[in-house]
Every structure is written in structure tokens, then in C-alpha cells.
A and B are shown apart, each in its own frame.
Chain A
Amino acid sequence: MDEFTLSRIFINLIIATKWTLILSAIAFIGGGIVGFIVMLMRLSASKWLRGVSFVYVEFFQGTPLLLQLFLAFFGLSVVFGINLSPLVAATLALTGFTSAFLADIWRGSIESLPPGQWEAGSAIGFGYLKQMQLIILPQAVKSAIAPTIGFLVQVIKGTSLASIIGFTELSRSAALINNVTLQSLLIFGLAGLIYFAVCYPLSTWSQYLEKKLAYET
């Protein structure tokens, strides 16, 4: 049987990191799409849409991500009588989690624009869609980029919880290797180091953009 040498442990963790990145990308893209829709609902004139989106955001922001994963993995499987794979369950839960936070971040960016921007749009005869597309979004995107990248770090860290429902990414692979070797300090230290190597550049970038934006305005 193969020995778990340091280099083998490291290579195994790096291979597993691929799945952390893939799951993060899926959650971020899915959460971005759903989050955009939820944001539009939050800003809409309809009381009903606002209410539904408020409950949605409140649920995903006010309950632990771990419970959302359990509900998706164990709960939905039981209710619908189907076996969701860990990947599908993790996708569902992380999409919900990510979308709720992104909807709030983006809503903040839009609401920080002066109402005169909307009024100017309607004054030159733009409808809602055109106002949004040509006037509001281009400006809001600017202030939304830094916190969005900052939140991407939260998503990447959040994917570590998918390990608990059995999705083999970096954290689960570390836990599995730990079960065999019991060199916990080394293995979780290495796993932490890999997460750090992924997240730190993003955090720094986000902070840089934030400062740059504050300087420009």
C-alpha cells in the first residue's frame, strides 16, 4: 500500500481543490443569476414580489448555511422521494445562500444612486427597462464590484461545508486523509494554506477596488 508522504498529501489536496473551485464557480454563477432576479423583485413596485423576496433573503441570511445544505440534501430527498447527489444538493443550497447575499449587496448599490437618475431617465422618455439597462446598472455595477468580489471569498469558504454532506472537495479530502494518517495539524494546516492562497488575492483585490473607488468619488 502507498504511504502518505508529504508530497502525496499535498498533491491529493491540490486535486481536491479543483472541486472547491468548480463548486464555488457554480454557486457564484447560479447565485448571481438568481440573486439578480431576487434583487429586481426587492426593488419592484409590487407588494407581493417585495414580500416574497424579503422572506427569501431573510431565510437564507438568517439561517446557517449548514442547515440549508441539510435541508437540500436530506430534506428534499425525503420530501420528493428522490436521491439528490451531494453535488446537486450543494448547488441548490449554495445558490440560495449566494443569491440572498448578492441580491442585498446589489440592491444597496442601486439604492445608493440618487433618485434623480431614474427621474432623468423617464424625463427623456425611457421606460423601466431602458432606465435600468442604460442609466442605473452601468453606474451601480461600479460600486457593486468590490463587495461582490469580497463576497466571493465567503462563497469559497462556504463550499467547505459541502464536505459535511459528502461532497469531496478540499475540506473533505483533508478530513479523509486525516482519518488515515492522523497528522491533523499538518493536514488541516495545509488545507488552510491552500484556501488562503485562493482567498487572499481575492480579498486584497476587493480591498484595492474599494479604496480606488472611494478615492475616485
Chain B
Amino acid sequence: MNYSFDFSVVWENIDILLAGAWLTLKISLVAIAFGLVIGVIGSLCRTSGNKILNAITLAYVEVIRNTPYLIQLFFIFFGLPNLGIKLSAEQAAILSLAVNFGAYSTEIVRAGVESIPQGQWEAGMAIGFKKLAIFRYIVIPPALANIYRALVGQVILAVLFTSIVSQIAAEDLTYAGDYLNSRTFRSFEIYFTVALLYLAIVWLIKGVAFLIENQAFKFAKYRR
């Protein structure tokens, strides 16, 4: 091995990589926000007691969880135009990521809601709380504390998944790496840096999640 590493290519083009990283963050954030909404609605359908709603939601969850994200992305980006629905690369990326994250978060949120014993509801009613107030003040906080770590883990996986949207030419961090690689052929230096940038994003999320956990879930500390 007499290869001489040269990271100057990376430093000279760091602005391209950072622009890509910015789009990665943006796509992730929007998709995760939409995905969470899907997850909350999905978990309500799963726990509603309505058999049809439950079956439809369960089918959605199982189909998404048992097929690769790449196929889901291609199905939406290349497949939907067959039905006359044309999406830009970014729209298809966000839609597919939201649908993907929605399925996983449906199950996570459902587990959270079901982790709260019925007695909590009854206790709320006994001290005269209305249903919405019970949900907001008695059920949600401990449910959220229970699922918080699973949710953060899923958010990190979702951010790592976004790298795949480069394959439909959404100009994210991985796409920026591909672009530089095709110009300079410094494959190792570029992809290694790109990988470390993803790692930095993951650590950033972990750090923020840790701070939020310490602040918001102080009440749940005794349980850990």
C-alpha cells in the first residue's frame, strides 16, 4: 500500500458537502415531523378498537417494516408517475421517508400509550379531570418518557436512511459526496469525510436528545 492520502480535496470543497448536509438535515426534519403525525394517527387507529381501522393500519406497518426503504423510494419516485402523479426528487424523498418513519413510530407510540395502566385514567376521573386533561397531564408525560429512547433511536435510523435518497438525485450529503468523487476520484477521503459528517449529525441528535431528556423527563428519573 503506497497510497498517499490527500484530504485537501475535501477541504477545498467543504462548502459543497456542508450544503448537502444542510439538505440532509432539512429533509430529515420535515420527514420526521410528518412521520410523527402519521405515527400518532396510526397509533390511535391501532388502539381505537375499530377492527377495520386496526387491520388497515397493521397492514401498512407490516408492509413498510418488511420491505427495504430503497424499494419504497423507487416505488414512489418511479412508480407513482405511472398513475399520473409526478413528484420532484425532494418531494419523493420526503414522502417516502415520512411514510417509512410513520410505520415505525406508529408501533412505538402505540407501545407508549398501552404502557399506561387503565388505573391512571380512573385516577384522573376520580379527581375530576376531563378526558382531554387526563390525556394531556396524566397519560402523555409518562407515555412519552417510556418511548422517548426508542423514538430517538428511530430518528437516528431515519437520518441515516436519508443517504439513500441520493439515488434519485436528491442533492443531499451523500449526493454531494458522489458529485465530488466523480470529479476528483479521491473516493476514500471523500466518502470517509461524508461518513464522519453523518456521525457528527448523529452525535448532535444524541446530544440534543440527552439534554431534552434531562430537562423534560426529570419526573421519570426514579424509574430508571
Chain B residues proximal to chain A, CB less than 8 Å: 1, 3, 62-63, 65-72, 74-75, 78-83, 156, 160-164, 166-167, 174, 177, 181, 185-188, 191-192, 194-196, 198-199, 202-203
**Minimum Cβ distance to chain A for residue B211 (Å):** 18
Across-interface contacts of A164 in B (CB, < 8 A): 70, 167
- Report whether B187 and A161 are in contact in the complex, using a CB–CB cutoff of 8 Å: no
Q: Are A163 and B70 in contact (CB under 8 A)?
A: yes
Beyond A157-B67, A157-B69, whether A71 also contacts B75 by CB under 8 A is no
A163 to B78, CA, bound (A): 16
Given contacts A67-B163, A200-B66, contact A184 B81 (CB under 8 A): yes
* B187→A199 contact, CB < 8 A: no
**Interface of chain A, helix or strand or loop or mixed?**
helix
Are B82 and A185 within 8 A (Cβ)?
Answer: yes
Q: Shortest distance in angstroms between B99's beta carbon and chain A's nearest beta carbon?
A: 12
Asked whether A188 is an interface residue with its Cβ less than 8 Å from the other chain, the reply is yes
Cβ-defined contact, B74 with A184, below 8 A: yes
The residue among B66, B83, B188, B196 with the most chain A CB atoms within 10 A of its own CB is B66
Q: Is A95's beta carbon under 8 Å from chain B?
A: no
Residue of B nearest to A67 (CB): B195
List B contacts of A184 (CB < 8 A).
74-75, 78-79, 81-82
Of the candidates A59, A71, A153, A175, the one whose C-beta lies within 8 Å of that of B191 is A71
Pairwise interchain contact A175-B198, C-beta atoms closer than 8 A: no
Given A171-B71, A184-B82, check contact A64 B161 (CB 8 Å).
yes
- Measured between beta carbons, the chain A residues less than 8 angstroms from B74 are 171, 174-175, 178, 184, 188
- A126 on the B face (CB < 8 A): no
Q: Is the CB of A79 within 8 A of B199?
A: no
Supply 30 A–B pairs (Cβ within 8 Å), ascending by A: A63-B198, A64-B160, A64-B162, A64-B163, A67-B191, A70-B174, A70-B177, A70-B187, A71-B188, A71-B191, A75-B192, A78-B3, A78-B185, A81-B3, A158-B68, A160-B68, A160-B69, A171-B74, A174-B74, A175-B74, A178-B74, A184-B79, A184-B81, A184-B82, A185-B80, A188-B71, A195-B68, A196-B66, A200-B62, A203-B62
- CB pair B187 A188 closer than 8 Å: no
CB distance from B171 to the nearest CB of A (A): 15
Q: Are B198 and A62 in contact (CB under 8 A)?
A: yes
A175 to B173, CA, bound (A): 23
Q: Are the CB atoms of A75 and B187 closer together than 8 Å?
A: yes
Does residue A183 face the partner (Cβ distance < 8 Å to B)? yes
Q: Is the CB of B83 within 8 A of A185?
A: yes
